[in-house]
Amino acid sequence: MWNQSFLCYNPYMSKKIEKNEKGVIKISVRDLVEFILREGDIDNRHGRGASAEAMLAGGRIHRKIQKRMGSNYHAEVPLKIAIEEDEYQLVIEGRADGILIESAEEEITFADNFNHMTMPEDCKVTIDEIKGMYMKLDLLDDAVGVHRAQAMCYAYIYALQHDLATISVQMTYCNLDTEDIRYFHYDYTFEELAIWFEKLITEYKKWADFQFAWKKLRQASIKPLQFPFSYREGQKELAAGVYRTISRKKNLFIQAPTGAGKTISTVFPAVKAVGEDLADKIFYLTAKTITGTVAREAFELLRKNGYQAKVLTITAKEKLCLCEEMECNPVNCPYAKGHYDRVNDAVFSLLQKEDMITREVILEQAKEYNVCPFEMCLDTATWVDDIICDYNYVFDPNVYLKRFFADGTTGDYIFLVDEAHNLVERSREMYSAIIYKEDFLLAKKILKKYGQAKLMRELEKCNRVLLSYKRECEKYVIYESIGNFAFELMNVASDLDEFLQKAPEFTERKDLSEFYLNLRNFLNIYELLDDHYVVYAEHEQDGRFKLKLYCVDPSKNLQERINKGNATIFFSATLLPVGYYKSLLSTETDNYAVYAKTAFREEQKLLLLGNDVSSKYTRRSAGEFERIASYVKKTTDAKKGNYMVFFPSYKMMEQVCDVFLEKCQSDPSCETETLIQQPGMKEEERESFLQAFSEELSGERKGSLAAFCVMGGIFGEGIDLKNEQLIGAIVVGTGLPQISNEREILMGYFEKRLGVGFDYAYRYPGMNKVLQAAGRVIRTVEDVGVIELLDERFLQSEYRALFPREWERQTVCRIDTVEKYLEEFWNRS
Predicted local confidence at residue 118, as pLDDT: 57
- Domain check: are 10 and 120 in the same one? yes
Structural domain contains residue 228: no
> What's the pLDDT score for residue 543?
93
CA dist., res. 700 & res. 702, Å (int): 7
> What's residue 136's pLDDT?
81
- At residue 276, the pLDDT reads 97
Asked if residue 623 and residue 643 are part of one domain, the reply reads yes
Do residues 559 and 677 both lie within one domain? no
Which of 599, 630, 665 corresponds to the end of one domain? 599
pLDDT tier for residue 6 given thresholds of 50, 70 and 90 = very low
Same domain for 612 and 699: yes
Q: Of 515, 536, 551, which residue is a domain's last? A: 551
Considering the chain, what is the average pLDDT of its residues? 91
Question: Would the pLDDT of 153 be above 50?
Answer: yes
pLDDT band for position 469 (cuts 50, 70, 90): very high
Residues 633-662: pLDDT tens digits?
999 999 999 999 999 999 999 999 999 999
Q: How many domains in the chain?
A: 5
Residue range of the domain that includes 89 = 6-212
Same domain, 139 and 29: yes
Alpha-carbon distance 813 to 820, whole Å?
A: 9
753 has a pLDDT exceeding 70: yes
Give the 3-state secondary structure of 90-154: EEEEEEEEEEEEECCCCCCCCCCCHHHCCCCCCCEEEEEEEEEECCCHHHCCCCCHHHHHHHHHH
Pair (116, 27) in one structural domain:
yes
Q: Flag whether 416 is in a domain.
A: yes
Per-residue confidence (pLDDT) for residue 47, from 0 to 100 = 47
% pLDDT > 70, the chain: 92
Per-residue pLDDT tens over the stretch 334-381: 999 999 999 999 999 999 999 999 999 999 999 999 999 999 999 999
**Pure H helices in 39-85:** 58-68
Residues 682-701: what's their mean pLDDT? 82
Identify whether 84 is part of a domain. yes
| pLDDT over 60 at 148, yes or no | yes
- Mean pLDDT over residues 93-104, rounded? 88
| Res. 2: pLDDT tops 60 | no
pLDDT at 599: 83
Helix axes 555-562, 578-585, angle to 10 degrees: 70
Neighbour-count burial for 697-707, b at 16+ CB within 10 Å, e otherwise: eeeebebbbbb
Q: At residue 8, does pLDDT exceed 80?
A: no
Do 740 and 656 fall within a single domain? yes
How many helices and strands in the chain, by DSSP H and E? 29, 26
Could you tell me which residues are beta bridge partners of residue 756?
Answer: none
Q: Which pLDDT score, from 0 to 100, does residue 304 have? A: 96
Would 19 be classed as within a structural domain? Answer: yes
| Residue range 595-639, pLDDT digits in tens | 998 888 899 999 999 999 999 988 889 999 999 999 999 999 999
Amino acid at the residue 376: M
Q: What is the mean pLDDT of residues 189-206?
A: 97
- How large a percentage of the chain has pLDDT more than 90? 78
Does residue 303 sit within a domain?
no
At 13 the pLDDT is 32
- Reported as a single tens digit per residue, the pLDDT across 707-727 is 999 999 999 998 889 889 999
Q: CB within 8 A of 724, min separation 6: which ones?
A: 641, 642, 696, 697
**pLDDT confidence of residue 116:** 52
Q: Which residues of 740-778 are buried (b: 16+ CB within 10 A; e: fewer)?
A: ebbbebbbebbeeeeebbebbbbbbbbbbbbbbbbbbbb
**pLDDT number for residue 120:** 62
- Asked if residue 180 and residue 76 are part of one domain, the reply reads yes
Residue 32 shares a structural domain with residue 141: yes
Whether the per-residue pLDDT at 267 is higher than 70: the answer is yes
* Same domain assignment for residues 562 and 583: yes
| pLDDT tens digits, one per residue of 509-520 | 889 999 999 999
Whichever domain contains 511, its CATH number is 1.10.275.40
Same domain, 394 and 451: no
Whole-number pLDDT of residue 114: 54
531 pLDDT band, cuts 50/70/90, is: very high
Q: What is the CATH number of the domain that holds 670?
A: 3.40.50.300
Tell me, what's the pLDDT at 62? 67
Q: What is the mean pLDDT of residues 422-428?
A: 97
> What does the CA dihedral 192, 198, 200, 202 come to, rounded to 10 degrees?
-160
DSSP string, 151-209: HHHHHHHHHHHHT-SEEEEEEEEEETTT--EEEEEEEEEHHHHHHHHHHHHHHHHHHHH
Question: What was the pLDDT predicted at 121?
Answer: 65
Q: Where does residue 279 rank: exposed (0-12), middle (13-18), buried (19+ CB within 10 A)?
A: buried
Q: Do residues 637 and 674 both lie within one domain?
A: yes
Residue 227 belongs to some domain of the structure: no
Report yes or no on 226 lying in a domain: no
Residue 691 falls inside a structural domain: yes
